């Protein structure tokens, strides 16, 4: 498996650390520090860029980092919440904060693991719209795992489907036929749909 030209199965610790700094994550479980401010949570996204991560304290980040965090919050429409505690926001807002935090990492690839699973359909669509727009704007590759086939077909350019650990589908979304999806979801099967998109 190669990521950004690096074979992750043979890479050493230093190579893997450098690679992780270039891969942004948006998780299913929104891993914000609930007691900290929204701004501080976003600033923490720059941790991987810090010269000495062990001595990192988000509250003492440089002014330019805090300005960058505010720009990221503005991009996701939440600059007005910067001073609030993360726990005061709705689930959809918290996921948008997580996207802003990911932007602080300045990644080349974004991995989104079931980013809308914990959200209602309306909030989920809003988060997917935002995630897609931002990755296209910044020319980032987005790899997103979803169980909602309609979302995968709406947002994906390449669709990869796994069933019971086996590759079932790997095709461009324009070539995906309805019959290919029949039987993909069954009571006794583990299933996952991965969509990939890059800026066009």
- Per-residue pLDDT reduced to its tens digit, 125-142: 999 999 999 999 999 999
pLDDT digits (tens, 9 = 90+) for 35-62: 999 999 999 998 877 666 555 555 567 8
pLDDT of amino acid 192: 56
User: In whole angstroms, what is the distance from residue 162 CA to residue 170 CA?
Assistant: 9
Which residues, including other chains, have CB under 8 Å from residue 102's CB and lie 6 or more apart? 24, 25, 26, 45, 110
Asked if the structure places residue 67 within a domain, the reply is: yes
Asked if the structure places residue 13 within a domain, the reply is: yes
User: In whole angstroms, what is the distance from residue 35 CA to residue 37 CA?
Assistant: 7
Contact between 83 and 41 under an 8 Å Cβ cutoff? The reply is no
pLDDT of amino acid 113: 93
**Residue closest to 134 by CA, chosen among 47, 45, 198:** 198
Asked if the structure places residue 73 within a domain, the reply is: yes
Residues in the chain: 200
The CATH number of whichever domain residue 116 belongs to comes to 3.40.50.300
The total domain count for the chain is 1
Asked if the structure places residue 102 within a domain, the reply is: yes
Determine the average pLDDT of the residues in 54-73: 78
| Average pLDDT for the chain | 86
pLDDT band (50, 70, 90) for residue 118 = confident
pLDDT of amino acid 150: 84
pTM (two decimals): 0.83
φ and ψ at residue 185, rounded to 5 degrees = -105, 110
Which residues, including other chains, have CB under 8 Å from residue 173's CB and lie 6 or more apart? 152, 153, 156, 157, 158, 159, 195
Largest CA distance in the chain: 55
pLDDT digits (tens, 9 = 90+) for 149-198: 888 889 889 988 888 888 888 999 889 887 777 766 654 444 555 655 54
pLDDT of amino acid 57: 57
- CA 192, chain centre distance (Å): 16
Domain span at 15:
2-146
User: In whole angstroms, what is the distance from residue 121 CA to residue 139 CA?
Assistant: 27
Query: 68 pLDDT exceeds 50?
Result: yes
pLDDT of amino acid 98: 96
Asked if the structure places residue 125 within a domain, the reply is: yes
Contact between 1 and 16 under an 8 Å Cβ cutoff? The reply is no
Asked if the structure places residue 195 within a domain, the reply is: no
pLDDT of amino acid 165: 82
What residues form DSSP beta bridges with 113? 145
pLDDT of amino acid 185: 61
Residue with tokens 């897609």: 132
Asked if the structure places residue 63 within a domain, the reply is: yes
pLDDT band (50, 70, 90) for residue 1 = confident
């Amino acid at each position: 498996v190669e990521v950004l030209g690096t074979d992750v199965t043979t890479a050493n610790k230093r190579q893997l650390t450098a690679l992780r700094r270039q891969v942004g994550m948006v998780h299913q479980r929104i891993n914000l520090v609930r007691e900290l401010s929204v701004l501080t949570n976003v600033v923490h996204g720059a941790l991987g860029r810090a010269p000495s991560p062990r001595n990192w304290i988000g509250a003492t980040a440089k002014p330019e980092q805090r300005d960058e965090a505010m720009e990221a919050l503005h991009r996701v429409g939440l600059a007005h919440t910067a001073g609030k505690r993360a726990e005061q926001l709705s689930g959809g807002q918290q996921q948008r904060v997580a996207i802003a935090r990911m932007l602080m990492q300045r990644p080349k690839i974004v991995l989104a693991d079931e980013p809308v699973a914990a959200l209602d359909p309306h909030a989920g669509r809003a988060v997917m719209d935002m995630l897609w727009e931002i990755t296209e704007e910044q020319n980032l590759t987005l790899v997103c795992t979803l169980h909602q086939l309609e979302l995968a077909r709406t947002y994906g350019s390449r669709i990869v489907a796994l069933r019971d650990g086996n590759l079932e589908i790997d095709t461009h979304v324009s070539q995906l036929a309805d019959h290919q999806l029949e039987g993909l979801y069954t009571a006794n099967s583990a299933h996952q749909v991965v969509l990939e998109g890059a800026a066009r």
